[in-house]
Structure 1
Amino acid sequence: MTTAQFPIDSLLPAIRDSLAAHPRLVLEAPPGAGKTTQVPPALLDAPWLDGRKIIVLEPRRVAARAAANFMARQRGEAAGETVGYRIRFENKVGPRTRIEVVTEGILTRMIQDDPTLDGVGALLFDEFHERHLAADLGLALALDVQASLREDLRIVVMSATLDGERLAQFLDAPRLSSAGRSYPVTLAHFPARREEKLEHQIKRAVEHALVSHPGDVLAFLPGQREIARAEAALAGSEAARGVDVLSLHGELPVEQQSRVLQPDPDGRRRVVLATNVAESSVTLPGVRIVIDSGLAREPRYDPNSGFARLDVVSIAQASADQRAGRAGRVAEGWAYRLWPESQRLEPQRRPEIAQVELAGLVLELAAWGDAGLRFVDPPPGGAMAAARELLLRLGALEGSGTQGATITAFGKRMLALGTHPRLAAMLLAPNDARERALACDLAALIEARDPLRSGGDALAARWQALAAFRGGRAPADASRSALAALDQAARQWRRRLRVETNPPASVPAHALGDLLLHAFPDRIARQHPGDPYRYQLANGRSAKLFDDSAVYGEPWLVIAELRDDPRDARILRAAPLDEARLEREFPQRFVSEDRVLWDAGARGIAAVRERRFDRIVLDSRPLAKPDPARYADALVDAVRQLGLDALPWTESLRQWRARIRCLREWMPELAKGEHALPDLSDEALLAGLDAWLKPALRGKTRLDALDEAAFGEALRSLADWTWRQKLETLAPTRIAVPSGQERAIQYHFEEERHDPHVGASAPVLAVKLQELFGLADTPRIADGRVPLTLHLLSPAGRPLQVTQDLRGFWERGYLEVRKEMKGRYPRHPWPDDPWTATATHRAKPRGT
């Protein structure tokens, strides 16, 4: 066993003591402190563990494998004995394994398969600051298990750069911090030259570093493509002659990863070109210089494909600090940043849950049976609703499509595959062995980067390139390395699904689409009858082919990638499908019905007999004798399309609505409870059209047949008789003034499309100044809470003053108004003392 010392060693007793007293812990420790490899073994003999397993979560496969191997070597063992690991498509655990290092998705499957986590005593979430969706879900599930089934389960959340205070509050957990082993790191910015490509900037920075400083170089790049270009640029560098240039990313074979993680056997200097897998949990010996591009590939929801794609984005400041820290692990170091010093980075990485597609999360929650789990950052409601709708189409959920939707038996099988629900539905759909092998090819194609350099919109061209590669004749415009990776991924899927049949060497034209329709049921599309480049989609949208499309002329397509555009969506990847196969696979989605609907173009009602696939109209013929009862539905749809202004509003009705809306704001207690004042916002009225407006439209065949009286009664039915009476007291239409007359009050409630909550304006009372003589204070309504805005008018009805402070006007403003108006209106009273004068709405009698 090794006796190497780590900075975290001094904190290990405190960690053990904390977990003995409390079931949760937040542990902050910088890179190099040893938290990943020293904390799990230190807990093995804890009495509360009682011989059970420790599960350590790592966000990356490279880190999981490296951490397990390091801990095993510390014990003089091989991985798979006391310490093992499980990652996608690879498993090294044995009957004696007590520390399992797993990637995040593995933990989710463990909890879903055994919610009691039998035999597991502790869960350690490493590098939680990366905020992967699977880690957030795993933590939420673990907390639920701990709260309801396993009070003895220990949960430790570890990271070098996280908001420890916030997380400790969320978990109601103690917080411990460790010092790291670090040396001073000199920071410098190494900006690009004008129009310089990244690989050339990397080459200049590496050459400068090799000449100027001792030690190995670690350069951070966003992905494999950039690493390959940088490697090619360095191949002809004089400064890098004799230096071992290595790559490090998650797709490397295990042997090559191991080579990078060990010192060079011949003592040569090394330049490691790495993705952010080297940012944390992986130790690279000898590194004293870091070159940071400031970029990473991170998942973002791509509406074109319906999946989360890896996009090149700027890293957060926390990541930049962590990367720079890698230069100070063994001695004084240097970090070169390839962005201008003036550029400001976001402080922390945004959690994936806020920016990726959530179909997988919704399916996991449905399987768990509790959508109310506690997340560090709650998932966005809109993304959750869209995910539920997709899962209903895929057959993974059944029910209303709301929080109450339940998982189906097919949904459970999809979940067990551990991939995106779209791909899982496609992989499970075929019964024929050759089709299952072909589905594995398609899953690999959809998940991977495009192997063709020439582009194009035909998925068939990409599969044909893969088939040609297997036959030893890859096309000239294809990347052999990309095709090799595709072939490997397809083999792994066949192994996972126990498909022993090899994929076919050729397939009919519709074969790919006939499988893809199970992954993209919302993007099944039919050629528009009037425009051969345009297609109608099952979800109600439409999209166009490019002029040079390889699938032009196909009557039916499955669209795998779609560039969404409000004006004209474009089809990026598609495959033709067979309509007969579509009818066999989804007979329930082909429907024939009589419809009475609003024709927006003709601004009238159309009655048709339609045959449809989902929202694609296959055939439509005029209906001679439609059911009159269906007209009301069509007229309600007309109001939804045209808006509430299409209804016969009168000023009286607009005022009635404004009075209620104002009262709900001025007296919020009236908007609560079973007998609350009704919500009359545009949103609420449109949402409730079927309940309040449809009865008034029955028997009518035109929207303009609804008269003002019938519409007014329908609208007023939303408030019961009691509220109608109270409304006259709390928000009257008229008010008596000192002259003995009643004057109207005007109510205003502003609502705009972009902001439905602008709110109530002050009610206005327009009245001639002489009618208020003797009134000391401004009149108020809404049980005295709201003063009227007084528009004080001249005898001719022109505004003299606007005020909500009548007393102040009499004291400070009246004399000026009197001086100006008395000569203009001599037949009207302008007393010296308005407090005691008699109010009047008339002029003085002649001769007075």
Structure 2
Amino acid sequence: MLPVQDIYQQLVTTLQSNPITLLQAPPGAGKSTWLPLQLMRDGHFKRIVMLEPRRLAARNIASYLAKCQNESVGQSVGLRIRGESKVSANTRLEIVTEGMLTRMLQNDPELSDIDLLIFDEFHERSIAADTSLAFALETQSALREDLTIMLMSATLDTERYTAFFDCPAIQSSGRSYPIDEVYIPIKDESRWLDAIPSIIKQALNEQTGSALVFLPGQFEILRVQQALSDLPSNCQVATLFGEQDKANQQAAIAPAPNGMRKVVLTTNVAETSLTIEGIRIVIDSGKRRAATFNLKTGVTELTTQSISRSSALQRAGRAGRIEPGIVYRIGSKQTFERRNSHDNPEILTSDISQLMLEAKQWGASIDELTLLDKPTEQQCEQASNLLNMLEAIDSKGKLTPLGSKMLGFGADIRLAHMLLKAQILDDQLPGIFRLAIYLVALLESRVNSVNELSLALHSQQQRPHPVFKQQLKYWQNRLKVKDEKSELNTHYISLLVALAYPDRIAKKRGNGYLLANGAGAELNADYWHNDDYLAIATMGGHKGGRIFAATALNPFELQEFLPHLFSELTRCEFDEKSARFIHQDEVKLGAITLTSQPSKQKLDKGERAKAWLNLFAKHGFALFNEQPDAQQLLIRMSLASNLMPDKFPQINEQQLIQNAAQWLGVFLEDIKTLTQLKKFNYFEALQNCFDWQQQTALKALLPLRLTVPSGSNIKIEYQLDGPAKLSVRMQEVYGLTSTPMLANGKLPLLMELLSPGKRSLQLTQDLAHFWASSYRDVQKEMKGRYPKHFWPDDPANSVATNRVKSKM
């Protein structure tokens, strides 16, 4: 009996009475197979759609459930993945992958006839799953109160999710079979891969049954496979990863032949929702290949990272699906326990341009979506810039008709833009559409090892890699383009790359390149090009800044087809090295300056002021000569805004630098030289940031000077952190019984009492206490040193003076 069967009735009742429910059940509990099938058979829901994050798992679950029904896929149990759709009018349970569910929601926001959505393995938190869930929640609240949503995983962050979604959680305790744990510490963590083959052999000697070995990627799988050539003859080695063809994947999943044992080397494609018969040993490297997005370069780079504890539990669960199992973990138990509890969600570490475009198509902004985690402002800015370059949104951020077509294309939005534009341009540029299909096949197959893209395409046309052939056939069939044997017209390849990767158009700069998005890049060590301009398709390496596949580019040939990438502007700036103004007319492509020549326009006051403002943005207030009164005014205004925000607007140095055009710009228009600028007194300009009433209030609450009992007007020194300071000779504050108050008592005043020779005698914030206590010691010393001055016994009730005693 499967563990999930014990809580089935409770779960059904909960689903029928709540819009959203969480189900936490361990690997092997039956949540991905027995549960959805039973819900369908019992007729609790008319039509169920279950989202599976991985295509391999989706295909196998659909096949298994159809087999349980004694049917083929496409009857009561359907399947919808990229390039494969098997559904019919009789389908009541449909297994879909993430992108498919998003498309279903975009095409039919009401999800007609669907009354239960299941998000399986929700702990993986892909952007696509987060997007689909956000749309589904909006559909549920605005259009379909009868739509039920269930989130499932073995390792949900239950406490957080129940609080966020305000929903119940059902837990299925127990695993189908127990799993033992073995930890294998290694001396040198950097050589973990070298340790894997011997650990596999150890596990095979110590245990019975077949083994599943988790490795980060194909490179590691190949290394380990080569090291296992001396296994006993009854041990069969198989590989399993996402890019494999269906036949090899099914061979890896199939049970070992009678009398044989199997060692399956896999990536995390086998981590969830997949049962490989005969597996009772899991060997976990503790590593995975994860996408890391570099905001600066706009490149997503795959890096090897340690997995979280929740992922490790998912992997271990593969061992206990059909009998008691065991997991061998690389590293100590202490190291394991120091790992993060859950992996970071993709939405915080990835390019969110697809999400932003999906949201615009949905009719919402990202901020309006119900998302467990929100992307940062920097992510949103980067995505918006890219979508504008891809013509998916206009200058006002509105979705364009082309952007809408790109979303429905079922491909990466960069490649969708390239294919759609190439199709439009084919009459004008014959052969460009065919070339675009070849280029998409090359980029998606990831089999290219040639840095020059035109050579790579010719190579694949002459001796195609099987994966390339598969991708090419897929796109030719989908776009209804017949295969031709004629040579490709690679003249248009730079235009195609620019259509897909406009942010990666690059100009030579020193030993490297400047990208259109403002980032720097360098050539791969064995790249032999030295062109002034490149169109880059593939980047990676350290911080995503290394060029791996590109082609030479003439940027001016792009202007006819991608005019929106180009801008004409007049640049006016002060060059500090030459101490003169630079006034140039320029043509730019993003951050790249294509042409620059002396401006034909007369330099006007406004442009000159902008140049000075740019200099001020670079240096801040240090640009000006020292101006104590202006500097004190800035501090006083900042203090006023912090201490009394209800009376004064927010003012601080950084904000003033950022908004200098608003308060400083007009004062700089008549300044013609750097010397004049340095001497400029910014007191008046700064003062005008407060209106007349606020200026009056500032003088009263935080005065620049304070009149003391002697009649002298003494300057106060303010600071941003700590009390204000008043340095005054002691005789001038006789008769003052308490410390003066600033800002209605909100800012303390530190009084520095000075001798007649202006040497510091006492620091106090409580003048009354000083008169009554330590003044006696000061009086005794000062009478001897300054006998002609007045040192009364009762200073609090004496007359202040700024003269010597004989002149009183």
TM-score normalized by structure 1?
Answer: 0.87
Maintained 8 Å contact 2:624/2:680: no
Q: In the alignment, what sits opposite 1:102?
A: 96
Q: In the alignment, what sits opposite 1:796?
A: 757
Match of 2:528 among 547, 550, 554: 550
1-side partners of 2:603 and 2:244: how far apart? 66
1:142–1:590 Cα change, 3 Å:
closer
Match of 2:727 among 766, 779, 784: 766
Maintained 8 Å contact 1:525/1:536: yes
Maintained 8 Å contact 1:607/1:626: no
2-side partners of 1:331 and 1:819: how far apart? 95
Maintained 8 Å contact 1:434/1:504: no
1:616–1:165 Cα change, 3 Å:
closer
Q: In the alignment, what sits opposite 1:538?
A: 516
Is residue 737 of structure 1 aligned with residue 719 of structure 2? Answer: no
Maintained 8 Å contact 1:305/1:560: no
Is residue 55 of structure 1 aligned with residue 49 of structure 2? Answer: yes
- Which region of structure 1 is more displaced relative to structure 2, 333-342 or 348-357? 333-342
1:624–1:278 Cα change, 3 Å:
closer
Maintained 8 Å contact 1:184/1:333: yes
Cα distance, 1:489 vs structure 2: 2.4
Q: In the alignment, what sits opposite 2:653?
A: 682
2-side partners of 1:312 and 1:548: how far apart? 23
2-side partners of 1:263 and 1:548: how far apart? 44
Cα distance, 1:682 vs structure 2: 3.3
Is residue 248 of structure 1 aligned with residue 256 of structure 2? Answer: no
Maintained 8 Å contact 1:438/1:504: no
The letter of the residue matching 2:683 is G
Maintained 8 Å contact 2:419/2:436: yes
Cα distance, 1:57 vs structure 2: 0.8
Q: In the alignment, what sits opposite 1:478?
A: none
- Which region of structure 1 is more displaced relative to structure 2, 634-643 or 341-350? 634-643
**RMSD, aligned CA:** 2.9
2-side partners of 1:393 and 1:664: how far apart? 41
Q: Give SS of 1:513's match.
A: helix
Maintained 8 Å contact 1:303/1:563: no
The letter of the residue matching 1:108 is T
Maintained 8 Å contact 2:451/2:549: yes
Maintained 8 Å contact 2:297/2:519: no
- Which region of structure 1 is more displaced relative to structure 2, 600-609 or 837-846? 837-846
Q: Give SS of 1:583's match.
A: coil
Q: In the alignment, what sits opposite 1:33?
A: 29
Match of 1:598 among 550, 562, 574: 574
Maintained 8 Å contact 1:595/1:609: yes
Q: Give SS of 1:845's match.
A: helix
Is residue 435 of structure 1 aligned with residue 402 of structure 2? Answer: no
- Listed as ranges, the matches of 1:36-185 within 5 Å are 36-44=32-40, 49=45, 51=46, 53-185=47-179
1-side partners of 2:347 and 2:443: how far apart? 22
Q: In the alignment, what sits opposite 1:657?
A: 634
1:602–1:541 Cα change, 3 Å:
farther
Percent pairwise identity: 38
Is residue 268 of structure 1 aligned with residue 260 of structure 2? Answer: yes
Q: In the alignment, what sits opposite 2:584?
A: 608
Q: Give SS of 2:40's match.
A: coil
Maintained 8 Å contact 1:290/1:323: yes
2-side partners of 1:769 and 1:565: how far apart? 65
Maintained 8 Å contact 2:503/2:516: yes
Maintained 8 Å contact 1:246/1:271: yes
Q: Give SS of 2:689's match.
A: coil
Is residue 747 of structure 1 aligned with residue 718 of structure 2? Answer: yes
Cα distance, 1:447 vs structure 2: 4.1
- Listed as ranges, the matches of 1:26-425 within 5 Å are 26-44=22-40, 49=45, 51=46, 53-192=47-186, 194=188, 197-237=191-231, 240-302=232-294, 306-343=298-335, 344-371=338-365, 372-400=368-396, 405-425=397-417
Cα distance, 1:731 vs structure 2: 1.2
The letter of the residue matching 2:439 is L
Q: Give SS of 2:79's match.
A: strand
TM-score normalized by structure 2?
Answer: 0.91
The letter of the residue matching 1:485 is V
Q: In the alignment, what sits opposite 1:498?
A: 480
- Which region of structure 1 is more displaced relative to structure 2, 124-133 or 82-91? 82-91
Q: Deviations over 1:67-98 (max 9, x none)?
A: 22222222222221111111122222222111
Q: Deviations over 1:177-234 (max 9, x none)?
A: 1113244433222234658855542211111111112222221111222122212211
- Which region of structure 1 is more displaced relative to structure 2, 511-520 or 190-199? 190-199
Q: Deviations over 1:589-609 (max 9, x none)?
A: 555555443334323222334
Q: Give SS of 1:800's match.
A: strand
- Which region of structure 1 is more displaced relative to structure 2, 510-519 or 155-164? 510-519
2-side partners of 1:561 and 1:789: how far apart? 63
Q: In the alignment, what sits opposite 1:756?
A: none
Q: How many residues align?
A: 798
Cα distance, 1:130 vs structure 2: 0.9
Maintained 8 Å contact 2:435/2:489: no
2-side partners of 1:600 and 1:519: how far apart? 39
- Which region of structure 1 is more displaced relative to structure 2, 255-264 or 362-371? 255-264
1:192–1:832 Cα change, 3 Å:
same
Q: Deviations over 1:21-65 (max 9, x none)?
A: 11110111111111111332333367773x2x2111111111111
1:334–1:619 Cα change, 3 Å:
closer
Q: Give SS of 2:212's match.
A: strand
Maintained 8 Å contact 2:28/2:175: yes
Maintained 8 Å contact 1:82/1:97: yes
1:36–1:614 Cα change, 3 Å:
closer
Is residue 780 of structure 1 aligned with residue 780 of structure 2? Answer: no
2-side partners of 1:321 and 1:822: how far apart? 83
2-side partners of 1:72 and 1:581: how far apart? 55
Cα distance, 1:370 vs structure 2: 0.7
Q: In the alignment, what sits opposite 2:692?
A: 721
Q: Give SS of 2:32's match.
A: helix
Maintained 8 Å contact 1:182/1:325: no
The letter of the residue matching 2:692 is W
The letter of the residue matching 1:747 is Y
The letter of the residue matching 1:246 is A
Cα distance, 1:272 vs structure 2: 1.9
Q: Give SS of 1:490's match.
A: helix
Cα distance, 1:527 vs structure 2: 4.6
Q: In the alignment, what sits opposite 1:841?
A: 802
1:637–1:580 Cα change, 3 Å:
closer
Maintained 8 Å contact 1:628/1:699: no
Is residue 446 of structure 1 aligned with residue 443 of structure 2? Answer: yes
Is residue 712 of structure 1 aligned with residue 683 of structure 2? Answer: yes
1:337–1:81 Cα change, 3 Å:
same
Match of 1:559 among 533, 536, 542: 536
Q: Deviations over 1:393-412 (max 9, x none)?
A: 11110133xxxx11101111
Q: In the alignment, what sits opposite 2:673?
A: 702
Q: Give SS of 1:659's match.
A: helix
1:808–1:80 Cα change, 3 Å:
farther
The letter of the residue matching 1:9 is Q
Is residue 667 of structure 1 aligned with residue 644 of structure 2? Answer: yes
Q: In the alignment, what sits opposite 1:574?
A: 550
Query: Structure 2, unaligned stretches of length 5 or more?
Result: none
Maintained 8 Å contact 1:304/1:562: no
Cα distance, 1:708 vs structure 2: 6.3
1-side partners of 2:184 and 2:681: how far apart? 74
Maintained 8 Å contact 2:585/2:600: no
Maintained 8 Å contact 1:306/1:561: no
